[in-house]
Structure 1
Amino acid sequence: MDLKDETPVLQFETPTSIMVCGPTNSGKTTFIKRLLENAPLMFKEVPSYIMYCYGVPSKEDLMEVRGDDTRHMICVLDDLLHDLANNRWSQELVCVSSHHLNVTVCLVGHNIYEKGKVMRTLSLNIHYYILFENRRDSEQILRFGRQVFPHKGKYFLDSFIKATSVSRYLTVDLNPKSEKLYSLRTRIFPGEDVIVFRPKHEEKTDEGQRIGFKISDGV
């Protein structure tokens, strides 16, 4: 099979930053596994290697692994948000070094609003959020929706409910290079029919259908 036939229409920009959030057993690990397995197709620049971390790597650790290689690299920081929230290096990594070193940073955690000195700055610079259902704390989803879509809170919440009922997660695309039309979507992996959520009264366009999306209207 030609890989081009399976390449998602909406690939992740490269390098970038991704935060995967949800409670235990929500599907985060499965999502990360699929993301890494399909990494050559999911990112605009194929990653040359992957660094998977269960502890916060120092700048020296990253540079030792990186060496003189300038090709795209993925760095996954698994369940480290609590440690990263007060770590100045993590802020530098996401906000500055990611771009300069051509490193995509993927943060995996339980709480969108982890408390810490650098967490707000760090979270404001995340380009993609992958949000899983949290029945114990729905308020953080509502709060996030109000911040990102201040006048379209219902649209965001309805999109989240529909997305999690279909595939357990909602992708929130805040990358400045991305079209706003495709900000909320799910089923993003190769071979899947991407579902894009749009506000009910938004002007219709056939662009999504033309390039292979399923548009969910009336949200």
Structure 2
Amino acid sequence: MIGGIANKSLLMTESDLKFRSPFGMILSGPTGSGKTTLLMKLLKCRDSMITPPPTSILFCYGEFDNHVVQLQQEGITVCSGLPSDQMLSECEKPCLLILDDLLSLASERFLTELFTKKSHHQNISVIFVTQNLYEKNIRVARIEMPNRDLSIELLYS
């Protein structure tokens, strides 16, 4: 209740907690903070957490780790380094693209185009995993991602 009046718009439903494709997300935190654990749980529950669920998933990594093998065994396409434009255009849509530990390879221009144009026009949801949220290369992605209002609200709350 607000001022003695119940406000139904403040009630949260299950669908409010789902990601709506295409979406943009930056997952940031220091080593050991749980980024990979959260990501693996999201992938495991993707059919109930993402609407509509991704038809294809492309996991691009900077450093090979045990979870890369696990993702391959689960049928997820993995590649070392940044995806090519051809890879992005040929993946089945809706697509979930995960860029894990690729900050040193991703230019500001690449991230800007990915979060602002390719995500929306090619129906690609993007999860960018990094240890440094304030790196110059991701400044534009932080400000211009498709879920801008939510991301800025969360960033400054």
TM (norm. structure 2) is 0.68
Aligned to 1:58: 84
Percent of aligned pairs sharing the same letter? 35
State the AA in 2 paired with 1:61.
M
1:108 matched to 2:115: no
Q: Which runs of 5 or more residues in structure 1 are unaligned?
A: 1-6, 130-147, 149-172, 176-182, 185-198, 200-219
Pairwise CA distance, 1:76: 0.3
May I ask how many residue pairs the two structures share in their alignment?
123
Aligned to 1:33: 40
Distance in 2 (alpha carbons) for counterparts of 1:90 and 1:40: 26
State the AA in 1 paired with 2:22.
P
| CA distances 1:46-93 after superposition (whole Å, capped 9, x unpaired) | 1112100011112122223x2xx4x31100000112322x25233211
TM (norm. structure 1) is 0.50
Question: Contact conserved, 1:16 with 1:104, CA < 8 A, in 2?
Answer: yes
Tell which structure's C-alpha radius of gyration is larger: 1
Aligned to 1:76: 98
Helix, strand or coil for the counterpart of 1:174? helix
More helix by share: 2
Q: CA RMSD in A?
A: 2.5
Show the 5 A alignment for 1:1-219: 9-54=16-61, 55-64=81-90, 66=91, 69=92, 71-84=93-106, 86-116=107-137, 119-126=138-145, 173-174=150-151
Q: Which runs of 5 or more residues in structure 2 are unaligned?
A: 1-13, 62-80
Helix, strand or coil for the counterpart of 1:36? helix
